Structure 1
Amino acid sequence: MNFVMKAAMGGAGKDVGKMLGGEEEEKDPEAEKEKEEERQEALRQQEEERKDKYNKMEVEREKVRQGIRDKYGLKKREEAEAEAAAAAEQVAEGSLTRPKKAVPSGCGDDDEEEESIMDTVMKYLPGPLQDMLKK
């Protein structure tokens, strides 16, 4: 019945109840706090459930990936990269021609300052032109 009244009156249903002698709702700040805390707790719980679900799915995916690796004799990306780095270090240890990455900083051509293009061009110009461009 109340629904029919509200539907017929539109948004004025609340006011009609007050006019007919209905009690006006008192807003309790503690009740609102409790509702907010319950809402926050529900959100936290939903977030935990979502994370648990995601972690379970990730574990299942890793099992499938490991099955494929075992079947085809593949290695994990991290293991493959570590082996490649170790192999590069072994090659570089006894070699006189180390790869460029293995050259420590401070050795070789890195100490020289690179010249700008303008400095390079200035070297090849005749003296009077150099003086004119320097001004």
Structure 2
Amino acid sequence: MDFVMKQALGGATKDVGKMLGGDQAEKDPEAQKKEEDRREALRQQEEERKQKHAKMEAERERVRQNVRDKYGLKRREEREAEAKAAMEAGSEGSLTRPKRAIPPGCGDASDEGPEESLFEAFLKYLPGPIQEFFRK
């Protein structure tokens, strides 16, 4: 019978005292000090890692800036800001496209002389006898 009880409970008999709160009141002051020392060491390691990372990133940025200076490149933020400003400035007062985007001569016909028809423009590129044939 004793064997059956041990098998049924397994290793739970060891944890019964912990479940009742017996071990929580008796903590080893040495273990608490070791835990604090461990946490302090982890914090220091994390600080060192962050410092090392910041140093490496500063070195990378210095190399990037040297390349930008050498080839006359701009930072991504500067390029995006310029493109955004150009889009905003170019689209003032227009719903579809900026007015400056319309090439000269493609606007209103009132400021130009008489326009040629498409057929007449096409005839200019044909040989003489064919031009006369189509004009008749």
* TM-score (structure 2 length as normaliser): 0.50
- State the percentage of identical aligned residues: 67
Uncovered stretches (5+) of structure 2, i.e. residues with no partner: 1-25, 99-136
Structure 1 stretches of at least 4 aligned residues deviating more than 3 Å after TM superposition:
none
Q: Residue 78 of structure 2 aligns to which amino acid in structure 1?
A: E
Report the CA distance between 1:68 and its aligned residue: 0.2
Report the CA distance between 1:98 and its aligned residue: 3.6
- Aligned equivalent of 2:48: 49
Q: Residue 82 of structure 1 aligns to which amino acid in structure 2?
A: A
Q: Residue 90 of structure 1 aligns to which amino acid in structure 2?
A: A
SS of the residue corresponding to residue 74 of structure 2 reads coil
- Aligned equivalent of 2:76: 77
SS of the residue corresponding to residue 91 of structure 2 reads helix
Q: Residue 90 of structure 2 aligns to which amino acid in structure 1?
A: V
The 3 A distance-change label for structure 1 pair 31 and 70 is same
Provide Cα deviations, 1:55-82, integer angstroms capped at 9, x if missing partner: 0000000000000000000000011001
Determine which structure has more spread, i.e. the larger CA radius of gyration: 2
Report the CA distance between 1:97 and its aligned residue: 2.5
Moved more, 47-56 or 85-94: 85-94
Q: In the comparison of the two structures, how many residue pairs are matched?
A: 73
Would you tell me which structure has more helix in proportion to its own residues?
Answer: 1
Uncovered stretches (5+) of structure 1, i.e. residues with no partner: 1-26, 100-135
2: CA distance between counterparts of 1:87 and 1:35? 62
